[in-house]
Structures are given as structure tokens and as C-alpha cells.
Amino acid sequence: MTEQHTDANINPLHVMQSLKGMLSGDEELVFMNILFSSSATIRAGNFGLSRKEVEKQLRIGEQDERFFSFIQRVNQAVSRYFQIIYDERRDQVVAMMRVPSRTARSTLSKESLAILLFMFYQQEVLQHDFTLFDQLLAAFGHETTKANQRMLLNLDQLRKIGALEEYETNSPEKAYQLTAIGTHMFSDSFLRRTVEFSQSNQLNKEEVLKFFKRYNLYQEGAGE
Amino acid sequence: METVDQSLISIFNKDESAPELLQSMRDIAYLSGVLSELGSQNAFQTPSEILRFLRIIQMINEEALGLDEPIENADTLYYRYRNRYRDPEPPTRKKVEQIINVLVKYNWISKQSRQLKMRDVGKRMMDALIRLANDSLAYYMHDDIGRSLFQARRDAELSEAYDDHGISGGNKIASMIRNVENAIQLMKERELEMLADRGALPQLEIIHQLMQELELKLVERFRQFSTLEDSLVLSDLMQQGTAVLAEGTNLSLGMINKYLKFTTMQQTMLTSTIHPEKVRAFIVQMFDPPLESDIPNAHQLLSFMEQNQYEGEAADGLWVPIKFAAPLSAEAVAESIDYLEHYEPIVGFIHEEDAEPEYIEEEIDLEQLGEVMGDSEWLLTKSMIQTDAIEAYMEAVEEASIEQVMIESTSADWADAINSLTAIAALVGNKKLAVAEGSADQVAGSPVYDKKWEWVSKEAGKERLRKRSGSAMEEAEPEKGSEEHD
């Protein structure tokens, strides 16, 4: 079996074989637990494991560098298919899977994606803490009827997959904040195409990633 | 137009017994006769045989139009056929003969000693047949969106060719609109696919051209019909038609715009400046871009990525949080299947309580009878007179003046006073309470109430009420006491 795989390295899943070299046995188990970290219900916030749980399973102490080392190594090994992210604010270690363009069309509505992109731009590029519901309405809702309802419906889609959550403020205004899931959802290629369309110009991928402040996330050999 | 004030010629409007109508129906009968006669020959079942037949009548047709030499007999046709068409299996001499005979039988051609001559019926029927075949051919040369649009254009042309000359071509405008609608529906369904397909641009352009042509044609048609009397009937169609065409053109135009922007972008230079305000504007627009704009929405953008123009782009759609359901053991699956199969909803048992009265036989002494009767009388009284308040009050104070009891237990109101007084009377009558003269100091010590009524005599109400104990044994003594007081 192994022989065949090495001979014809056309099967990209072959890279999974290298997991063993990058992770210890315990770490492998934890990675799998993160993938399985669910009951059958899908609710916002019900993704992944807490950091404490991961640390417990890895048998390492709190605030240990080894926690981040583990995440980094998993990501290096499986980056073509999965990535593991740690949402510090919500204390979740979540696995995300890469979905090809064709399939991605059916994951979220086009409106949801536009809203997410808008918030992503505001919060990642402009570094706002949150996006007000009013801002979304002002940007998107001016031409359509039932704008309010449509907006809430699409926001709910995003909330359900844990891409955003309501931002707690004292003011009566409704505000939303992206979660780590939300900031990681757009693939580099998608961002590049978006910006290219907006500029009507071809762009260098690095420039786009820099624009979205993703340069520190971009690792060599990770995204090609 | 000369036809403005007369309605179109149509078989459906004509008097049934008109000789022209009967003649025209007979034409159709000849046509079907020829077809069925040929159909009954088995060889004629294959499409290529039909083509051969059409070729033969085409040659006869051409002769009739003076484009070719006269045809002497079936042999001439046979040789001419072999000469003209490179057919690996040309029809045999016998076959040609057969066809000629059928055509003669149904009056399409006349057979004279030295010439085969086309008759009028034949000319028109052959025309119709060949046109039919050519129409189908043109139809099938388009893809599915193109077919609907082709049919729509054809409808427009037919409508032009017939209606303008006073001959009804059927409901061509309605059919045309329906065809355009179908095409637009298909186009919407396949929009994402078309954007994802790198070679779709020429196809898009064809569709767009068709849409534009159709729009022109339809508007032109409507303009002519607007002078006709039946334009009222058409106004609905007109609205529907223009709306559909506008939508269709916008859709096709939008697809082409997006496509062109996408492809021309590939030829621009690599730049490194990004204008944030443009990014923002683009994101805002992509929420719900108008049909004809060159802004793709998020799904269309993903469709473009499917082309994989940048390497790995097609695989790099989105990242989505995932959770794999933990595997289920076979045992758990079996258990739940068993549960589902044998599940019986638990329904609460319905108790039917028989409300049949039970009769109990009891024997009592004659002495006790008075007491029992008194008890039941008391219960009856109690059910009519509200004594609860007095009883409760007396339970608490044991002894008080009548006036005090009446007011303290309820209120100083007139109605309550009547009620209380009857209640006290009932209680005393049933030996629950006892009445006694109050001693002088007791009378002086009783509080004065601000009441809404007055006693008749001043002394009334000063009498003391005292509670009697319930049991018969203890009752004896205080009863005597009270009697002494009386």
C-alpha cells in the first residue's frame, strides 16, 4: 500500500501520511478529537474544543508554548485540506475545511457572503471593533424592499455557522463582531479575485494578503 | 397598411361549410395520404429514407420552378438522383417508381406520356414539407437556450410573413413571448455554469444578439398591432413581452459584461496599488448587483474561480468550519432501529369514573335523631347564610359584644350588618353561640364604632356573644351557664 502511494504521488491525500512525522501519537489523537468535536447538533458556538480541553488531552500545562506549536504543526501538515484555528475570545479550537469553489457556492447565500466580506473589510482592514447593524443597512439595504428582514435572515445564516456574534455594548444599537471562524472563512484566492474585480486590475497575491493584513498568516508552502 | 380594418384570415374564423375551407382541408388530407402511404413501406421508417424522399421531391420541385430540365419519367429522376447526390445507397429504380406512383395517386403530380408535371397542390405541399424539415434542422442546430430563442425569432418572422398579409399564423406573438421566457429561465439556471466555463463567451454573445434582435422585432410587431382593433387583447401580451425581453437582454448583457471584465482583467498589468474605497464600493455593490452590471455577486465570483485561471484557485473556494459526527457503533444503530420499529406512543389511560351514588345504610337511636336532623338543618342554613366570617371571628376572640362581632368580623356597612345579624341568629339558634347580658363594666369597656346604622333601642347590641364548645358532652355545662344568665 505505502509503496504504491510513494510511487505515484498523484494522490494529494498522501500528505496525510506525513502527519505521523509531524505529530506525536497524543497530538494525532487530539487533532482527530477536534475534528470529531461535535454532537450532531449544529449551533453557533458549538464548534471545537476549549483550549483547556486540548491542553488536558495533550497533557501539557497551561500557557504552554506547546499548544501553539501543536496548532502550527497540524496546520503545516494538513494545510491543503484543513486548518485549525484558535479563537482566543471564545476559547475554541476549531477545525475548518477547505471547500472548492463549485461546492462553496451552495454553502452560504450570496448576500451572506457579501455581508461577511463587508464586515471582514471593516474589521480586518479598517480595524474596527465591530460593525453596527445600521451600517450594514446603510450599505446594502437602500435599494431593496424588506431590507431589514433580509439582512437579519442573512446575518442569522452567518451566526449559525459561528462566523459572527453579537457584540456586547451598552448602547441600544445592535452590533456584530467577526469570530475567528469569520475571519478565516475567505480563501486567499477569493480575496484576490474580489480585490481584482474592484480595481479592474490584475494584482499580486502578496499585495492582496498584505491589504487584508494576512501577511503574518501566510506561510511558505501553505497556500501556494 | 391595407389590412388594417379587416381581421386576419384564419381557418378557425371561417364558416365551416365554405368551399375554400373544405378544399384546404382536402389538401391536408392529400399530404397525410402521401405520408401514410410512404410510411406503410417499411424502408421508409428510417430517417435517411425520408431524406431520400425529400431529395426526390426537391428535384421535381426544381423542375417545376424551371430550374432544371423537364422530367420524362421515373428513370430520369433515378439517374438525376445518382448524378446529383453522393449517396452510398441510392434508391432503386423500383423505389423511385413507387414514390412517383404515390405522388400521382394524391394529385401532387400528373403523369403524362412524356413528362412528369407538378400540380399546384403538390407545389404547396412540397414547399410545406421542405420548409418543415429545414425549420427542424435549424432548430436542432442550436443548444437548448438557443433553441427557445431561435423558435422565438422564427415566431416573430412567421408572424411578420403571415399576419402582415392578412393571414393568421396562429398565436405567434404569445408563442414568441413564451419561448423567450423559457430561454431566460434556462439562462438563469445555467448562468453560474456559463460563467465558470471558459469557452462560454461566444455562446453568450450569440444569445445576447438574439435577445437584441428579438427585442427589436417584438417592439415592431406591437407597433403594427396597436392600430388594429384587437390591440386591447394584445395589451397584456405587450406588457408581458416587453418585460420579459427587458429582463432577458439585461441578463445576457450582464453576463457578457462580467465575462468581458473578467477576461480583459487577465490582460492588464500586475499592479500593486489597491484603492480601499474601490474595494468598499465593490463589496457594497456585490450584495445585490443589477442584472446588467459588470459586478459579479459572490456566487458568480466563485464561478469565475472555477475556471482555475490562477493555479489552485478552483480548489480554494472558502474555508468552512466543520464538525465530523463521531462514528456510531453498530449496536447503537441497531438499537435505534429497533426503537423506531417498535415504538408505541404512550397514551395516558383514560379512567372512566362511574358516578353512581353509593347508598350506605346507617342506624341511629331515636335520641340521636334530633341531633342528626339538627346537623343537617344547620348545614342547610349554613348553605344559605354566610356564617363563616362570624365563626372565624368568634374562634379568635371567644367572647365579645354583638355590635363588636358584627362590625369587626365584616364592616360597618348596612348590608354587612344585616348579613351578620342573620348569621348570628342562625349560629345562636343552632347552639353554636350563646347570648348573655353584658356586665356594666363590660358594656363600658366595649369600643364605640363609627357605623352607618343604629340600633332601635340603645341597649341592643350590648349583649355578649360567647362561643360554645363543639362537643355534646362539654356543651352541657356552659349551656346551663348561659341559661342561668338568661
What pLDDT does A1 receive?
40
Which residue would you say has higher pLDDT here, A70 or A6? A70
The two counts, helices (H) then strands (E), for chain A are 12, 6
Q: Quote the cell numbers at residue B81.
A: 438522383
pLDDT in tens, A35-54: 776 443 445 556 788 888 88
Q: How far is CA A144 from CA A137, A139, A147, B292, in A?
A: 10, 11, 6, 17
CATH number of the domain at A12-97, please? 1.10.10
User: Which of A165, A197, A206 is the best residue to mutate to test the B interface, defined by the most B CB atoms within 10 Å of its own CB?
Assistant: A197
Q: Assess whether pLDDT exceeds 60 at residue B388.
A: yes
What pLDDT does A5 receive?
42
Beta carbons within 8 Å of A1's beta carbon, 6+ residues apart: none
How many angstroms separate the CA atoms of B346 and B336, rounded?
A: 17
Average confidence (pLDDT) over B139-162: 83
Q: Characterize the bridge pairing of strands B109-112 and A164-166.
A: unpaired
Confidence of residue A201 (pLDDT cuts 50, 70, 90): confident
Is the Cβ–Cβ distance between B297 and B286 less than 8 Å?
A: yes
What pLDDT does B42 receive?
64
Q: How far is CA A128 from CA A120, A152, B188, in A?
A: 10, 21, 38
Q: Domain residue spans in chain A?
A: 12-97, 102-215
Q: How far is CA A172 from CA A140, A169, B17, in A?
A: 21, 8, 82
Confidence of residue A219 (pLDDT cuts 50, 70, 90): very low
What pLDDT does B227 receive?
62
Which residue would you say has higher pLDDT here, B296 or B47? B296
How many angstroms separate the CA atoms of B89 and B94, rounded?
A: 14
Contact B271 A202 (CB under 8 A): yes
pLDDT in tens, B434-471: 887 767 677 666 677 777 777 777 677 777 778 776 54
Give residue B166's region: left, alpha or beta (phi > 0; psi -120 to 50): left
User: Which of A33, A35, A86, A102 is the best residue to mutate to test the B interface, defined by the most B CB atoms within 10 Å of its own CB?
Assistant: A102
CB count, 10 Å around CB of B118? 20
Beta carbons within 8 Å of B98's beta carbon, 6+ residues apart: B41
User: Is residue B269 less than 8 Å (CB to CB) from chain A?
Assistant: yes
What residue of A is the nearest CA neighbor of B314?
Answer: A101
Q: Give chain B as a 3 state SS string.
A: CCCCCCCCECCCCCCCCCHHHHHHHHHHHHHHHHHHHHHCCHHHHCHHHHHHHHHHHHHHHHHHCCCCCCECCHHHHHHHHHHHCCCCCCCCHHHHHHHHHHHHHCCCEEEECCEEEECHHHHHHHHHHHHHHHHHHHHHCCCHHHHHHHHHHHHHHHHHHHHCCCECCCCHHHHHHHHHHHHHHHHHHHHHHHHHCCCCHHHHHHHHHHHHHHHHHHHHHHHHHCCCCCHHHHHHHHHHHHHHHHHHHHHHHHHHHHHHHHHHHCCCCEECCCCHHHHHHHHHHHCCCCCCCCCCCHHHHHHHHHCCCCCCCCCCCEEEECCCCCCCCHHHHHHHHHHHHHCCCCCCCCCCCCCCCCCCCCCCCHHHHHHHHHHHHHHHHHHHCCCHHHHHHHHHHCEEEHHHHHHHHCCCCHHHHHHHHHHHHHHHHCCCEEEECCCHHHHHHCCCCCCCCCCCCCCCCCCEEEECCCCHHHHHHHHHHHHHHC
Strand partners, B464: B401, B436
Average confidence (pLDDT) over B325-333: 81
- Prediction pTM value: 0.61
What residue of A is the nearest CA neighbor of B311?
Answer: A224
Mean pLDDT of chain A: 80
pLDDT in tens, B170-207: 677 788 888 888 888 888 888 888 888 877 888 888 88
What pLDDT does A186 receive?
93
CA distance A97 to chain B (A): 5
Q: Quote the cell numbers at residue A203.
A: 494584482
CA distance B285 to chain A (A): 8
Confidence of residue A223 (pLDDT cuts 50, 70, 90): very low
Strand partners, B109: B118
Contact A102 B317 (CB under 8 A): yes
Which of chain A's residues have a Cβ under 8 Å away from the Cβ of B323? 35-38, 42, 47-48, 95
Is the Cβ–Cβ distance between B252 and B204 less than 8 Å?
A: yes
pLDDT in tens, A119-144: 999 998 898 889 999 888 888 876 66
Within the 317-376 window of chain B, which residues sit less than 8 Å (CB to CB) from chain A?
Answer: 317-326
Window from B255-269, B394-408, B440-454 with minimum mean pLDDT: B440-454
Which of chain A's residues have a Cβ under 8 Å away from the Cβ of B317? 98-105, 187, 189-190
User: Which of B261, B264, B283 is the best residue to mutate to test the A interface, defined by the most A CB atoms within 10 Å of its own CB?
Assistant: B283
Residues in chain A, overall count: 224
Q: Domain residue spans in chain B?
A: 19-137, 371-444
pLDDT in tens, A174-189: 899 999 999 999 999 9
Average confidence (pLDDT) over B235-247: 82
Which of chain B's residues have a Cβ under 8 Å away from the Cβ of A197? 261-262, 265, 282, 295-296, 301
pLDDT in tens, B82-92: 888 888 888 88
Give residue B185's region: left, alpha or beta (phi > 0; psi -120 to 50): alpha
Task: Report the residue from B271, B306, B311 with minimal CB separation from A203.
Answer: B271
Confidence of residue B474 (pLDDT cuts 50, 70, 90): very low
Q: Assess whether pLDDT exceeds 60 at residue B426.
A: yes
Within the 138-197 window of chain B, which residues sit less than 8 Å (CB to CB) from chain A?
Answer: 192, 196
Confidence of residue B349 (pLDDT cuts 50, 70, 90): confident
User: Which of B191, B307, B322, B328 is the best residue to mutate to test the A interface, defined by the most A CB atoms within 10 Å of its own CB?
Assistant: B322
Write the single-letter amino acid at B231. Answer: S
Window from A16-30, B20-34, B313-327 with minimum mean pLDDT: A16-30
Task: Report the residue from A98, A126, A193 with minimal CB separation from B301.
Answer: A193
What pLDDT does B121 receive?
84
Q: Assess whether pLDDT exceeds 90 at residue A115.
A: yes
How many angstroms separate the CA atoms of A185 and A188, rounded?
A: 9
Q: Assess whether pLDDT exceeds 60 at residue A9.
A: no
Q: Assess whether pLDDT exceeds 60 at residue A220.
A: no
Mean pLDDT of chain B: 80
How many angstroms separate the CA atoms of B348 and B109, rounded?
A: 89
Q: Assess whether pLDDT exceeds 70 at residue A30.
A: yes
**The CATH number of domain B19-137 is 3.90.1150.10:** no
User: Is residue B277 less than 8 Å (CB to CB) from chain A?
Assistant: no
Contact A101 B317 (CB under 8 A): yes
pLDDT in tens, B224-234: 766 665 556 66
How many angstroms separate the CA atoms of A75 and A146, rounded?
A: 42
What pLDDT does A117 receive?
93
- A102-215 CATH choice from 3.40.50.300, 3.40.50.12240, 3.40.640.10, 1.10.10.10: 1.10.10.10
Confidence of residue A218 (pLDDT cuts 50, 70, 90): very low
Q: Quote the cell numbers at residue B483.
A: 341559661
Contact A202 B265 (CB under 8 A): yes
Within the 222-261 window of chain B, which residues sit less than 8 Å (CB to CB) from chain A?
Answer: 261
Which of chain A's residues have a Cβ under 8 Å away from the Cβ of B280? 121
- Percentage of chain A lying above the pLDDT 70 cut: 81
What pLDDT does B484 receive?
39
Q: Assess whether pLDDT exceeds 60 at residue B319.
A: yes
Q: Assess whether pLDDT exceeds 60 at residue A87.
A: yes
Confidence of residue B307 (pLDDT cuts 50, 70, 90): confident
What pLDDT does A4 receive?
43
User: Is residue B265 less than 8 Å (CB to CB) from chain A?
Assistant: yes
Task: Tell me if domain A12-97 and domain A102-215 are identical in fold.
Answer: yes
Residues in chain B, overall count: 486
What pLDDT does B327 receive?
75
User: Is residue B296 less than 8 Å (CB to CB) from chain A?
Assistant: yes
CB count, 10 Å around CB of B44? 17
Average confidence (pLDDT) over A81-103: 88
Is the Cβ–Cβ distance between A97 and A103 less than 8 Å?
A: no
Contact A101 B192 (CB under 8 A): no
How many angstroms separate the CA atoms of B252 and B187, rounded?
A: 8
Contact B274 A199 (CB under 8 A): yes
